[in-house]
A and B are shown apart, each in its own frame.
Chain A
Amino acid sequence: MTLIRYLVLAAALLLSVTAAALDLNQAKAEGLVGEQPNGYLGVVKATPAAVELVSDINEKRRAAYERIAKQNGITLDQVANLAGQKAIEKTPSGEYIKTPTGQWVEK
């Protein structure tokens, strides 16, 4: 049952990918934004567009983390931290990630 639920969720998420994803990739490539250990996107170089983009994406991430936390009997932060570690691991070299000490570094 749990597996089916995740598959449905994954299908829905894949269908919702739009041109904005390109904007995120572009922002990451330009070094404007980066991944953080807390599971949320961070602003590396503050521009109005970068802050708007990060805020919008983080709102969606939080909603997804909350759903998963409730489904798995754990807290929001626990999900977010686990997701953050995974996201940093998957970040390609050349893009920015935040270290546990709070520094932005190019991976």
Chain B
Amino acid sequence: MAQKRFRKTHFFWLLPLLVLLVPVLALLAAPLFGVHWQGLGWRQGPSLDALWYESDGCRQVDVHGARLSGLWPLTLTLDTVGVHDCPDDGTPFRLPSLPPVDITVWALQYQDYPPLMAHLSQAGGRWRGRTEFRGSELEAEYRRDRGRWRFTGDLQAAPFAAVLGSGPLTGGVRLQGDGQWLPGQRFQGKLVALGRDLGVSGQGPRGDLTVRARWHNDYWRVRAALDEPLALGGGWVVSPGRDLIAEGRGLALSQADGRLVVNGPWGRAALALSSDAERFGEGQGRLLLSEGWRGRLDVDWRDGQLRLAPFQVSLPEPAVTLRLREPATLPLALEGEAILPLEAVYQDLTLTTSDSRVYWRPNDVQWRGGLNLTGQWGGYRLTGQWQGDAGPTGVHGEPARVRLSDADLDVTATLPLDGVTPPHWPLAATLEGRYQSIPFRARADARLDGDTWSGALNGRGGPLPELDGGVLTLDGRWDYADRPRLLAGATVKLSRAVRERLLIRPINARLTTPLVLDDDGPHGHLSLDGEGLVAERWTLPPVTGDAHLDGDTFGAELRVPAWQTQINLSGRARTRGYAGTLSGVTPLAPAMSRGLPFTFQGGDLNLEGNWRWAGSAHLDGRLTGHGLDLDWGSVQARGLDAELALGWDDGAAALATVTPLTLASLDVGVPITDLRLDLDSDLNTWTVRRAHARVLGGEIRTPGLSWPSPAWQPVVVTQIELSRLAALQGEPAVALSGRVGGYVPLRLLRDSIAVRQGRLANETPLSLSILPSSGAQAMAQSNRAVSIALEALNPLRIQQFQAGVDMAADGWLDAAVRIQGVNPQRNGLPVVFNYTHRENVLELLRSLRIGDRITDQVMTESKR
């Protein structure tokens, strides 16, 4: 008896210990049943950081933040519960027998859908559940003993917009259902959904939708009725018609009747379904597309198969026609396959499938077959092939090849598709071909992140025609969200190249902002760096600049730092070609003169103009020069001011002075000052008009001179002071006074100059006296006759002076001088002096001072 009391006493004492041991043992044994846990702790009760259930390597349920706050009923609070998609192992789901439980889940999430708040309780086999989501709630009850269930709920449409991927929704749905669920035996019930004021906010009408469904195991029947037109979003509106009634078993459709009309941006779609009353499980349907898209799809179902007749559907925009070439049969089952010989036509392009099959099973659908592309697009011939399969897990198969060609362009793109899988769909394509005679090769890769495609683009083309060694390379990154962009940092480089005898040093263009391709053209900014040009007789130093593209307009600012030159260019696309403005300013320096027959010593040039390109170049501008100083060897021009109108029209040049060109001084051995003239030229013929200058106290003028020209063109000189002429002597030999004048007819040919019957005469009495000099003494001592002549001439008052000059184009000069006067120191001795001279001026020039020795020195110097 005492022993019994002892056992009872200790049994009750051990009871709490057992209660504590049970959950501990349960936790330790849980992994054996696929339940795993971690992070055992205490948070106002025992808690677990994480708990999950795995079956066949798939984690079906994830629980975070589990806390036990009561033992009777067993009260659990779960922070989050995630339910994932795992393959069904075929075991029927049953609710377990449990002691009373009360579970609160703050965030219950099924796959990627938004989380709900849920509360679940059970007592005596009666389960109750309640979920809430942004104003919507659903309550359900299940009695385990009889298998009866029922639920009610009110759903607001607005929060489901994001789930459905639609626009903002309005209205609500009341749900009510009941039935019986005996796991593994029976699942039957009925459901009524009453939608009120359903629609898309601000888009069309709202309607009431009623859906009634009932089922018994795999048999089901649905009836849907729409009372008012209902906006579906995106401009689509479904109109009420005959109630839609469908009945079937599993996926097998046995009966369907109804009529549905949808109107939207693409047109009108009318769906009509009808079952054969005589033959259960047979029926037919028709989808008529009109008012935009056009086509007709006929289907019928029989013996658990859906037959689709050949059809042709045309979409309005883009203008694509989709064809089913042969009838297709699709089994009405959860798993199956069908042959779908489809063909799509866009403009003159046709995409044809071969061995086209669709496979499906629960949670999966795959297409397998070949694609063949042929036709014309944008003036190009386009062909392509691909063989492989595609589905939710990606695309697999041989590389796709597309070839685009015309007379100038021939490019083949190769796109390996193995490994092209979601979510990033990584692609890498190579392009290889030629443009005219320019071979090129490029590589582009892409991947999808969210809604944006992005990748890198690298290409190399060349050598360019007529550019020996010129290779173009492109390196950059791009993206495409709502429009394609080449990102900042992308570069295009032209390597060193030779065009004819011009060396083009490397040129580099770099994007400083993304280059965006819009409907009106590209937009973006870029920097330009050119290392310059080298020609036989001139160089262009490095050029830097910036350019901007704004759709159909563009502009550039270019600088030549070594010359302090700046050029601005702007333009706009026109219906035919381009047009814009051009301006530039630069100081002039000797370094800019390497290719010219003269050397700039100073001054400034300014250019303003308008240009146009329509297959050929046109330019109208104004070139202004201020304070220009030029050297033609020993000939020096100083203080040149000019304002020229420039024109270039398809290779024809024109320039003309706007205001008279003025030159402060021109030193050709004889100083000429205050030169003023008008000038015009087409770069072949240069014409000077109304030229006038001061020279030796007199003036020189001409009404016009053209070069080259076979005409004899007079130059008039007047009032030339002989005293100033005499002052030019290095060692004065004679003293002169008085003024002379006359005219010199010139013939200015391209490579020669000739004078015919030039005449000079005195305009005032002249005087001549011979100064003592070594030259005069030598002449006097040469012979007696010369000595007598010199004595007679010294001094001389000249009443009449006449000189005639002729010079042939080959350089032979003939001069004849007649002097008539008196010698006042010889009692007015009358003197008549005739002198003739003949010499080849060009030969004289050749032998003057440029001998072999000097040219050898020049050649030696330039070998450095």
Among B200-208, B602-610, B842-850, the one that faces the other chain is B842-850
* B631 contacts A70, C-beta separation under 8 Å: yes
Q: In the complex, what residue of chain A is closest to B669 when comparing beta carbons?
A: A73
Q: Does B364 contact A (CB under 8 A)?
A: no
Please give, as numbers and ranges, the residues of chain B lying within 8 Å of A51 by CB-CB distance: 498, 501-503, 534-536
Q: Is the CB of A57 within 8 A of B863?
A: yes
User: A6, B853: Cβ atoms under 8 Å?
Assistant: yes
Query: Does B857 touch A at the CB level, under 8 Å?
Result: yes
Q: Is the CB of A13 within 8 A of B857?
A: yes
Contact residues in B for A14 (Cβ distance below 8 Å): 860
Kindly state the separation between the CA atoms of A48 and B863 in the bound complex, as whole angstroms. Answer: 18
Taking the closest CB of chain B, its distance from the CB of A92, in whole angstroms, is 13
B249 at the interface (CB under 8 A from A): no
Residue count of chain B within 8 Å CB distance of chain A: 42
Nearest residue in A to B859 (C-beta to C-beta)? A87
A40 contacts which chain B residues (CB < 8 A)? 536-537
Within residues 785 to 799 of chain B, which ones have a CB less than 8 A from any CB in chain A? none
Q: Quick one: which of B597, B631, B850, B858 has the most chain A CB within 10 A?
A: B858
Do A65 and B849 have beta carbons less than 8 Å apart? no
Q: Mark A50-66, 1 if CB is under 8 A from B, else 0.
A: 01101101111110111
Within 8 A of A (CB), among B567-597: 594, 597
Taking CB atoms, residues of chain A closer than 8 Å to B599 are 66, 76
Q: Are A48 and B469 in contact (CB under 8 A)?
A: yes
Q: Does A16 contact B (CB under 8 A)?
A: yes
Cross-chain contact of B863 among A21, A62, A68 (Cβ < 8 A): A21
Contact A78 B633 (CB under 8 A): yes
User: Min CB distance, A19 to chain B, in Å?
Assistant: 10
Whether B849 contacts A2 by the Cβ 8 Å rule is: yes
Nearest-neighbor residue (CB-CB) of A35 within chain B: B859
Tell me if B89 is interfacial: C-beta within 8 Å of chain A: no
Asked if A86 CB lies within 8 Å of chain B CBs, one says yes
Q: Are A86 and B852 in contact (CB under 8 A)?
A: yes
| CB-contact partner of A46 in B468, B537, B597, under 8 A | B468
A77 with B597: in contact, given A52-B503, A68-B854 (CB under 8 Å)?
A: yes
Given A20-B863, A51-B501, A82-B846, residue A74 in contact with residue B857 (CB < 8 A):
no
Interface residues of B in 817-864 (CB under 8 A from A): 845-846, 848-850, 852-864
Residues of B within 8 A of A16 (CB): 861, 864
Could you tell me which residues of chain A, from 65 to 98, have a CB within 8 Å of some CB in chain B? 65-66, 68-79, 82-83, 86-87, 90
Digitize B524-539: 1 where CB-to-A-CB distance is under 8 Å, 0 elsewhere.
0000000000111111
User: Within 8 Å of chain A (Cβ to Cβ): is B496?
Assistant: yes
The yes or no answer to B110 lying at the interface (CB within 8 A) is: no
Please give the distance in Å from A33's CB to the nearest CB on chain B. 9
Q: Which of B496, B594, B861 contacts A48 (CB 8 A)?
A: B496
Given known contacts A41-B536, A46-B501, A82-B846, is B858 in contact with A65 (CB within 8 Å)? yes
Chain B hits for A46, CB < 8 A: 468, 498, 500-501
Pair A43/B501 contact, Cβ less than 8 Å: yes
Minimum CB–CB distance from A22 to chain B (whole Å) comes to 9
Complex Cα distance, B590 from A59, in Å, reads: 11
Within 8 A of A (CB), among B627-659: 631-635
Q: Can you list 20 A-B pairs, Cβ within 8 angstroms, ordered by A?
A: A6-B853, A6-B857, A14-B860, A40-B536, A41-B536, A42-B501, A42-B536, A48-B498, A48-B503, A51-B503, A52-B503, A64-B862, A65-B858, A72-B850, A74-B845, A75-B597, A76-B598, A76-B632, A77-B597, A79-B850
Extra contacts besides A2-B849, A20-B864, A55-B538 (15): CB < 8 Å: A6-B857, A10-B857, A21-B864, A43-B501, A48-B469, A48-B496, A51-B535, A57-B863, A60-B864, A62-B537, A66-B631, A69-B634, A70-B634, A75-B633, A79-B850
Binding site for A on B (CB under 8 A): 468-469, 496, 498, 500-503, 534-539, 594, 597-599, 631-635, 669, 845-846, 848-850, 852-864
Q: Which 7 A-B pairs have the closest CB atoms?
A: A69-B633, A13-B861, A21-B863, A75-B633, A86-B855, A51-B503, A60-B862
